[in-house]
Structure 1
Amino acid sequence: MDIMEPVHGTAYLLSVAAIAVAVLLFLIMKVKLHAFLSLVLVSMVTAVAAGIPLADVPDTLLSGFGGTLGNVALLVALGVMLGRLLEKTGGAQVLADTLIARFGEKRAPFALGVAALIFGFPIFFDAGLVIFLPIIFSVARRFGGSVLLYALPTAGAFAAMHAIVPPHPGPVAAADLMGGDIGVTLVVGLPVAIIAWFVGSYLVGTRLGRRFVTSPAALFADAADDSDAPAIAPPRFLAVLGLLLFPLILICLNTGVSTLQTAGVVSEDAGWADALILLGQTPVALLLTVLLSLVVLAPGRFSVSKATSLMDDALGPVCAIILITGAGGMFGGVLRASGIGASLTESLSDLGFSLIVQAFLIAAALRVAQGSATVALTTTAGLVSAQVVELGLGNFDIALLVFAIAAGATVLSHVNDSGFWLVSRFFGMDEKTTLKTWTVMETTLGLAVFALASLLWVVF
């Protein structure tokens, strides 16, 4: 999408942006209008106010929406299909039980966190936390101590994967809006997410978990007796681990072969190289993984038609997330096309902030103001995308910007964030305790991600 020559001055455009964000927050938080409708309405009004010709407004809106949706919807759909199949066959329980047996009782919080990191690759934060609830409470009863000792590192692992690693919608949309490569974002994002989780979530979460003792609702205390647990034999640990590693291996091969072709080590005409690059494209890798999961998990457990029903059930709840993500891309696209994004980033540049710091600060401000990490990710990516193009940044640098934006979209979770209430109610915390535990841990997690991204930005 081309960026038009601004017809208004910087002060006017920044005022339009500020008013647009304020109206968006008012509609979502006070009026309680659906986020999708709010984003579409504000995007349209902002486009007109910013001076985009009326005849071009529909194309501008659809360009931002369709471009984001085309990339996000496919990856999110395939990711939740894989997560649903693993969930219903007991894959999450197998991961947790095996890792706890390997690491031992004293490292049970670490084992649960590692299991959540692995399982959090294809599944959303909310869904992953709900799936792990029976496991968390079962382990807490078995080994004793505060349930938060086990819950916070686990929740932090799902939060880290959801914010940083594709195929989750936020990082996918952010990378796409800035013209980055999703495969590179995934490959670099995995070690960043793991290290940031250990420093900002595991170390902090276990310390907070030992300090605060809560009384969770009885409903969850008995969650180990879940009547919906699969009666069939669960898959083996290596089968679950292999299914989750399979797409990562394909994507790594894609990145490696592409790098070798760029360096001239491998001929660009090599058919085998083109085949590996195709198989390692993120949507193709996930599609192959879903099909492989049917071959590995279905025999002796359920028919293909039953698997289809399970995947249908998984797709329904994510439709709203996909549409909101697309609408966030629409709003970001309007900000970019109108020149507002360039005006904002230039203003921050005049204050001496580098692009990666700008990205973090904008995302953090949006996160605090409206609560949604996905909206903060997509909106910020749209705002800074003009400067990314101007600087001609490569895929690695764009991936680091994605992480900086994700870091800003993670910090300071509070009462306008659905995740805040989810953790609060599941683990029996009042608002004050949740602010002292979950909010603190989310902030240290985000700061750890930003520190790693900034270090890599400076070094490389």
Structure 2
Amino acid sequence: MPLLIIAFGVLLLLIFIMRFKLNTFVSLIIVSFIVALLLGMPLSKVVDSIESGLGGTLGHIALIFGMGAMLGRLIADAGGANRIATTLIGRFGEKRIQWAVLFATFIVGIALFLEVTIVLLIPIIFSIAKEMKVSIVHLGLPMVAAALATHAFLPPHPGPTAVAAEYGANIGLVLVYGIIVVIPTVIMSGILYPKLAKRIVPSAWTREGGESFGAGRTFKEEEMPGFGISVFTALFPVILMAVGAAVDILQAELHFKDSLLIDTIRFIGNSSTAMVISLLTAIYTMGIRRKVPVQRLMDSCGAAINALGMLLLIIGGGGALKQVLIDGGVGDYVASVFAGTSMSPVFFAWMVAAILRVCLGSGTVATLTTAGLVIPSLDAMPDVNLELVALATGAGSAIASHVNDAGFWMVKESLSMTLKEAFGTYTVLSTVVAISGLVFTVILDLII
């Protein structure tokens, strides 16, 4: 019965969102109430469960998520993202242009959310494709592969940040392990798969496209910050969190004691502290240092937060549904079903996230719902690597992007593809990201 109730809840969520066009957050809250009642939760506990799930989820990630949004907006508005993309594309040369796009998107994508990365880079990609007389899809697929992979695997993106917090995983380690997994994953999906896709749907490579999609702001050479400072600002939170994670790893291996220096490094490398320091750094490097008025910088930060509001609510709604599943006993039921199984918790988390992603469309909602089903199973596995379970969940949440995913339509329209071409390129590419991410996560699990 619990599994049937979950299936009914997922179906209801799809009907609310796709058939009745209800807002995703509203749909999640309504479904959370219905699922809680069907699971037999006492009426006095339903509201508390939903509120604790919503508040608990946002309490873990709001600071990181908010600071990350403002950091990305400052870099974008200053022209730093444009500088990174154009410089790398110029240095890699025409023959390795796909690698240049992949690398540029990877750097920019760490700081910017998936949709922002696509909107920001598409005009640049289109201009280069037009100048080189190649299809926009030729350069667009490496771009969306890197943008999707960073979105699915790397903090401070909402899905990996939220699910790492739910599992109690070290966000710094999730970032470090995530980068290790993402590098081969984006090569598989962004460089190798497009060669095959060109044979599967050759028509996608016959048009230039892209002009109808919103044109991004153009910057004059003197308006953009330098390449080095732009890369440093974008990667600064990664550097700080990586240092904190490295200290944790070395302390576990070498067994040295805590000290003031170690505590200080761990404090600075904490994901929340790292994001605050990185935002202050960006305010200086992307603004004050270039004599940009502070008010304009704060306008950029305000715009980032305004755009973030509904997404935060949706994440909170996913957390509410997750908590209902836990408090309603679904997680315990799933744990009992798989009790004694030899299935790896990494694969189990990936499988659940993949199924929910196909059904729900939203990768972020899929990751949070997965946490509610997987967490009780982890209690019986004391030696499980929580960081790798978080990465596997992120990998599963990337699979088979299709018509119920807003990102699918964004990619389709931005690359001017037909529905068939979008299925043959982006839907399969997102599946390659998911499967490759799982494979490299499992390999990492065998090594560490």
Q: Which residue of 1 aligns with 2:244?
A: 254
Match of 1:438 among 419, 426, 430: 426
* CA-CA distance at 1:160 after TM superposition: 0.3
Q: Which residue of 1 aligns with 2:375?
A: 385
Greater shift after overlay, 37-46 or 48-57? Answer: 48-57
Match of 1:219 among 207, 211, 221: 211
Q: Does 1:148 align with 2:140?
A: no
TM-score (norm 2): 0.93
Q: Which residue of 1 aligns with 2:174?
A: 185
Alignment of 1:171-182 (within 5 A): 171-182=160-171
Q: Does 1:287 align with 2:279?
A: no
TM-score (norm 1): 0.91
Taking a change above 3 Å as real, the CA distance of residues 305 and 42 of structure 1, as seen in their structure-2 partners, is same
* CA-CA distance at 1:179 after TM superposition: 1.6
Greater shift after overlay, 175-184 or 341-350? Answer: 341-350
Could you tell me the percent identity over the aligned residues? 34
Alignment of 1:6-405 (within 5 A): 12-208=1-197, 211=202, 212-215=204-207, 217=209, 219-220=211-212, 223=215, 229=219, 233-263=223-253, 265-268=255-258, 270-298=259-287, 299-348=289-338, 353-393=343-383, 397-405=385-393
Match of 2:417 among 415, 429, 446: 429
The 8 Å contact of residues 185 and 399 in structure 1, kept in 2 or not, is answered as yes
- Tell me the distance in 1 between the aligned counterparts of 2:214 and 2:260: 56
- Tell me the distance in 2 between the aligned counterparts of 1:301 and 1:110: 34
Q: Which residue of 1 aligns with 2:437?
A: 449
- Tell me the distance in 2 between the aligned counterparts of 1:205 and 1:303: 44
1:189-223 CA distance string (max 9 Å, x none)? 11211211111222112543584324355735894
1:167-208 CA distance string (max 9 Å, x none)? 111011111111211111111111211211111222112543
* CA-CA distance at 1:389 after TM superposition: 2.5
* CA-CA distance at 1:355 after TM superposition: 2.3
* CA-CA distance at 1:358 after TM superposition: 2.0
Task: Give 1:407's aligned amino acid.
Answer: A
- Tell me the distance in 2 between the aligned counterparts of 1:402 and 1:448: 15
The 8 Å contact of residues 152 and 206 in structure 1, kept in 2 or not, is answered as no
Taking a change above 3 Å as real, the CA distance of residues 304 and 49 of structure 1, as seen in their structure-2 partners, is same
Greater shift after overlay, 154-163 or 36-45? Answer: 36-45
Structure 2 regions of 5+ residues with no counterpart?
none
- Tell me the distance in 2 between the aligned counterparts of 1:264 and 1:229: 49
Taking a change above 3 Å as real, the CA distance of residues 38 and 189 of structure 1, as seen in their structure-2 partners, is same
Match of 1:411 among 399, 403, 422: 399
Taking a change above 3 Å as real, the CA distance of residues 217 and 260 of structure 1, as seen in their structure-2 partners, is closer
* CA-CA distance at 1:432 after TM superposition: 0.6
* CA-CA distance at 1:151 after TM superposition: 0.5
Task: Give 2:92's aligned amino acid.
Answer: F
* CA-CA distance at 1:444 after TM superposition: 1.0
The 8 Å contact of residues 88 and 104 in structure 2, kept in 1 or not, is answered as yes
Taking a change above 3 Å as real, the CA distance of residues 393 and 172 of structure 1, as seen in their structure-2 partners, is farther
Task: Give 1:215's aligned amino acid.
Answer: R
- Tell me the distance in 2 between the aligned counterparts of 1:356 and 1:218: 39
Taking a change above 3 Å as real, the CA distance of residues 420 and 349 of structure 1, as seen in their structure-2 partners, is farther
* CA-CA distance at 1:345 after TM superposition: 4.1
1:57-112 CA distance string (max 9 Å, x none)? 22221221111101222111111111111111111221122212322111111101
Taking a change above 3 Å as real, the CA distance of residues 138 and 377 of structure 1, as seen in their structure-2 partners, is same
- Tell me the distance in 1 between the aligned counterparts of 2:420 and 2:291: 45
| Secondary structure, counterpart of 1:219 in structure 2 | coil
- Tell me the distance in 2 between the aligned counterparts of 1:66 and 1:125: 24
The 8 Å contact of residues 142 and 189 in structure 2, kept in 1 or not, is answered as no
- Tell me the distance in 1 between the aligned counterparts of 2:428 and 2:3: 31
Taking a change above 3 Å as real, the CA distance of residues 403 and 263 of structure 1, as seen in their structure-2 partners, is closer
- Tell me the distance in 2 between the aligned counterparts of 1:353 and 1:28: 33
| Secondary structure, counterpart of 1:105 in structure 2 | coil
1:1-46 CA distance string (max 9 Å, x none)? xxxxxxxxxxx32222222222222212222211111111211222
Taking a change above 3 Å as real, the CA distance of residues 206 and 131 of structure 1, as seen in their structure-2 partners, is farther
Structure 1 regions of 5+ residues with no counterpart?
1-11
* CA-CA distance at 1:264 after TM superposition: 6.0
Q: How many residues are matched? A: 444
The 8 Å contact of residues 134 and 220 in structure 1, kept in 2 or not, is answered as no
1:392-438 CA distance string (max 9 Å, x none)? 245xx212112222222111111111111111111111101111111
The 8 Å contact of residues 141 and 190 in structure 2, kept in 1 or not, is answered as yes
Task: Give 1:422's aligned amino acid.
Answer: M
Task: Give 2:139's aligned amino acid.
Answer: Y
- Tell me the distance in 1 between the aligned counterparts of 2:164 and 2:213: 40
The 8 Å contact of residues 380 and 405 in structure 1, kept in 2 or not, is answered as yes
- Tell me the distance in 1 between the aligned counterparts of 2:339 and 2:408: 33
- Tell me the distance in 2 between the aligned counterparts of 1:320 and 1:48: 26
The 8 Å contact of residues 201 and 444 in structure 1, kept in 2 or not, is answered as no
